[in-house]
């Protein structure tokens, strides 16, 4: 008798990004999954995977990628995430975040694949967070507008979809630019002074938790919007102090400032963060404790 296992076909778009890498690592040794990776760069940051270079704003490239692999689930972890540059590079931000999501949704719908799309707390104005999935979005910067438009594109496309909103990602990233924790550790280790805002509140999200949430969405085939974030609603400044404490670094090098003092091109939602009760109830989501997440980062990156 043939006990052939039917594998889940998983396409990870944006596989070289911080989140994409973590999702790939989560599934790379899973015998029940056949995975295809795609990202903007010529090569995969993670060796040994089935990889294609992709520009998601090009419809024909997305069509070819999806129709050739025929996935069951398409994870869109690709995005233009530079919040300040989005104010001037509007066309690029829109092409990647909105047209890219539209293209992925269209061809996922064509083959009846389930699309998992990532969004952000920047779809809100940050006047009275933390926010639930049913709170009314009101983005105050162009990046936030592109992410809300991408959500809407996915929702009206008719594709079976899950939209995961998240905020302040951190975790053990080996390739690409360092995450916030690594940046703080590196800066303070070199005894550099860093200025951190006291008036931006959120619940920092450990990328391992986000990868687990994706795994639950796939397992339970859950559709709709889900918030994924950490347990602690804290300011960026407090978060930075906790990092310094854990890694035994000098907190006196951290200067508290207000967001308005940075004169950034893009306004930020200040009182933000995401409530995760729905994900805890429907996905069995359990955020990792902050200290435990720092332990994992320290051991994985040998900090």
78-129 residue pLDDT tens: 999 999 999 999 999 999 999 999 999 999 999 999 999 999 999 999 999 9
Angle subtended by helix axes 236-246 and 290-301, to nearest 10: 60
Residue 30 lies in a domain: yes
CATH number of the domain at 40, please: 3.40.50.720
pTM: 0.97
Candidates 99, 16, 2; CA nearest to 60 is 99
Domain-located, residue 29: yes
Residue 188 lies in a domain: no
The residue range of the domain holding 219 is: 8-177+204-231+272-288
Residue 300 placed within a domain: no
Q: How confident is the model at residue 1 (pLDDT cuts 50, 70, 90)?
A: low
Is residue 295 in some structural domain?
A: no
Residue 282: count other Cβ atoms within 10 Å of its Cβ: 14
φ/ψ (deg, to 5) at 109:
-65, -40
pLDDT at 238: 98
In a domain, 293, yes or no: no
DSSP state of 131: B
The β-bridge partners of 39 are 53
Domain count across the chain: 1
């Amino acid at each position: 008798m043939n006990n052939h296992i039917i594998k889940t076909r998983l396409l990870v778009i944006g596989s070289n990004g911080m989140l994409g890498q973590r999702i790939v690592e989560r599934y790379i040794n899973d015998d029940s999954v056949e995975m295809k990776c795609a990202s903007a760069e010529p090569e995969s940051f993670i060796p040994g995977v089935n990889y294609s270079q992709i520009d998601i704003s090009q419809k024909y490239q997305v069509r070819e990628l999806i129709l050739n692999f025929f996935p069951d689930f398409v994870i869109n972890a690709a995005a233009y995430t530079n919040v300040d540059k989005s104010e001037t590079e509007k066309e690029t931000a829109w092409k990647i975040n909105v047209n890219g999501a539209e293209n992925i949704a269209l061809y996922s719908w064509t083959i009846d694949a389930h699309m998992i799309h990532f969004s952000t707390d920047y779809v809100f104005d940050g006047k009275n967070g933390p926010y639930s999935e049913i709170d009314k979005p009101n983005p105050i910067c162009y990046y936030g507008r592109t992410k809300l438009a991408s959500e809407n594109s996915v929702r009206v496309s008719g594709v079976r979809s899950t939209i995961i909103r998240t905020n302040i990602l951190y975790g053990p990233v080996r390739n690409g630019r360092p995450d916030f924790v690594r940046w703080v550790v590196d800066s303070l280790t070199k005894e550099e002074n860093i200025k951190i805002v006291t008036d931006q509140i959120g619940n920092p999200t450990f990328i391992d938790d986000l990868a687990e949430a994706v795994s639950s969405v796939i397992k339970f085939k859950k559709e709709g919007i889900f918030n994924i974030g950490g347990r602690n609603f804290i300011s960026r400044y407090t978060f930075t102090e906790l990092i310094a404490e854990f890694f035994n670094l000098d907190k006196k090098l951290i200067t508290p400032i207000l967001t308005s003092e940075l004169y950034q091109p893009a306004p930020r939602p200040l009182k933000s963060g995401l409530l995760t009760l729905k994900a805890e109830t429907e996905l069995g989501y359990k955020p990792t404790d902050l200290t435990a997440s720092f332990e994992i980062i320290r051991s994985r990156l040998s900090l």
